[in-house]
Amino acid sequence: MVRVPLSPEERQRGERFGTLLRQARGDRSMVDVAAAAGVSAETLRKIETGRAPTPAFFTVAALAHALSLSLDDLVAACGTGDTDCDGHALSA
């Protein structure tokens, strides 16, 4: 199976998502949050640094739960496809 390369916008959205997770994590260690979410610390590290810009839905949901973030808040923060995480309209 060939994976389609990500667009620059998708990569930027992944980086913004990683920043959002780092901010929500605050003083908690990466290991503690990853364990609470049932993912590896390396997976969380890759997401936070933008190296895994498109994590699986269940990974996102588990991290949101571990960080007390609602999925609605994540959607509002990261847009629904026509806006970026900052709420700016993406060009067509």
Domains located in the chain, CATH noted? 8-78 (1.10.260.40)
Read off the tokens for 7.
């667009």
At residue 79 the predicted structure's pLDDT band, cuts being 50, 70 and 90, is: low
Burial of 57 (0-12, 13-18, 19+ CB in 10 A): exposed
pLDDT reported for residue 89: 47
pLDDT reported for residue 3: 80
At residue 92 the predicted structure's pLDDT band, cuts being 50, 70 and 90, is: very low
pTM of the model: 0.79
**Is 83 a residue whose pLDDT tops 70?**
no
User: Across residues 52-72, what is the average pLDDT?
Assistant: 93
Instruction: Report how far residue 52's alpha carbon sits from residue 83's, in angstroms, rounded to the nearest whole number.
Output: 20
**Is 74 a residue whose pLDDT tops 90?**
no
Taking Cα atoms as reference points, which of 39, 72, 30 lies closest to residue 58?
39
Instruction: Report how far residue 54's alpha carbon sits from residue 11's, in angstroms, rounded to the nearest whole number.
Output: 8
